[in-house]
C-alpha cells in the first residue's frame, strides 16, 4: 500500500526513490499511526499539532519521512513528463530558478535540469533520513543538536519539488486525476511547516497564492 492516507487501489505505486519505512513496533511508527488517524478526521490544523507529551524532534522526524514518501510518490507519477528537454532548468515558474549545491559533494551551486536537480535533492534527503546519527530510529537514542536545522533544510528543499510540480507539470497531474491528492499532500505539508515555523516565508514565495487559497478556508 503506497500510503494509507491516500489509498485508492488504482494509484500507481511507482515511487521516484525507494520508500523510506519507519520500523513497525517503534515509537515513531506509533506516532505515524497517530498522525494518520488524526488526518483521517479531516482537520489538518489539528492533525499537525504536537501530540501531548511528545518530543518535537521526533514528531518533526516522523512527518519529514512521511512527506519525503508522499513527494516521492507524487513526483514518481509524473517523471515521464519531467525530462531534460521539457525542463532544462529547475524552476518554479518564470521568476524562480534553483541551482543545486549540497555543501559537501557540490559546494558551488550548479545549474542543472529539473530531473537531475530532483534526483540530487531526493538522493540527498534519503541520505539524511538514513543517517542514524541524524534520524535515530532506535528508542532512547537522542537527536543531535543540529537536528532542527537539518530538518528545516530538508523541508525547504522538498517544498521545491512541490513548487516545480505545480508550476511546470500541473496538466499531467490533472490528467492522472492526482490533483486532489497533490493538494491534500501539499496542504498538510504547509500546515505542518507553518505550525512549527520550519520554512522561511521567502522560500514559499513561488506558491504564495496557492498557499493563501488552500489555507484561507481553514483559519
In this structure, are residues 16 and 79 in contact, taking their beta carbons and an 8 Å threshold?
A: yes
Determine contact, residues 65/36, Cβ cutoff 8 Å: no
Q: Among 186, 208, 194, 212, which residue's Cα sits nearest to residue 95? A: 208
Residue closest to 129 by CA, chosen among 3, 18, 44: 18
User: Is residue 178 classed exposed, middle or buried when 0-12, 13-18 and 19+ CB atoms within 10 A define those classes?
Assistant: buried
Binding residues for Zn(2+): 82, 87, 164, 169
Q: Which residues contact 52 (CB under 8 A, 6 or more apart)?
A: none
Residues making up the binding site: 82, 87, 164, 169
Residues in the chain: 219
Query: Torsion-angle region of residue 98: left (phi > 0), alpha (psi -120 to 50) or beta?
Result: beta
**Rounded to an integer, what distance in angstroms lies between the CA atom of residue 12 and that of residue 145?**
38
Q: Is 133 exposed, middle or buried (0-12, 13-18, 19+ CB in 10 A)?
A: exposed
Amino acid at each position: 500500500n503506497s500510503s494509507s492516507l491516500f489509498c485508492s487501489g488504482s494509484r500507481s505505486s511507482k515511487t521516484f526513490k525507494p520508500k523510506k519505512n519507519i520500523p513497525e513496533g517503534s515509537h515513531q511508527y506509533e506516532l505515524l499511526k497517530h498522525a494518520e488517524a488524526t488526518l483521517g478526521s479531516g482537520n489538518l490544523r489539528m492533525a499537525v499539532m504536537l501530540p501531548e507529551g511528545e518530543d518535537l524532534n521526533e514528531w518533526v522526524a516522523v512527518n519529514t519521512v512521511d512527506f519525503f514518501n508522499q513527494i516521492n510518490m507524487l513526483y514518481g507519477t509524473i517523471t515521464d513528463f519531467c525530462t531534460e528537454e521539457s525542463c532544462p532548468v529547475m524552476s518554479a515558474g518564470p521568476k524562480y530558478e534553483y541551482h543545486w549545491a549540497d555543501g559537501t559533494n557540490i559546494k558551488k551551486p550548479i545549474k542543472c535540469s529539473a530531473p537531475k536537480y530532483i534526483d540530487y535533492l531526493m538522493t540527498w534527503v534519503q541520505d539524511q533520513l538514513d543517517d542514524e546519527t541524524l534520524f535515530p530510529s532506535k528508542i532512547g537514542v537522542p537527536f543531535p543538536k543540529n537536528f532542527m536545522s537539518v530538518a528545516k533544510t530538508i523541508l525547504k528543499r522538498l517544498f521545491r519539488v512541490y513548487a516545480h510540480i505545480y508550476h511546470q507539470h500541473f496538466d499531467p497531474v490533472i490528467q492522472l486525476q492526482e490533483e486532489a491528492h497533490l493538494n491534500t499532500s501539499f496542504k498538510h505539508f504547509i500546515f505542518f511547516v507553518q505550525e512549527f515555523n520550519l520554512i522561511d516565508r521567502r522560500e514559499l514565495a513561488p506558491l504564495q497564492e496557492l498557499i493563501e487559497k488552500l489555507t484561507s478556508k481553514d483559519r
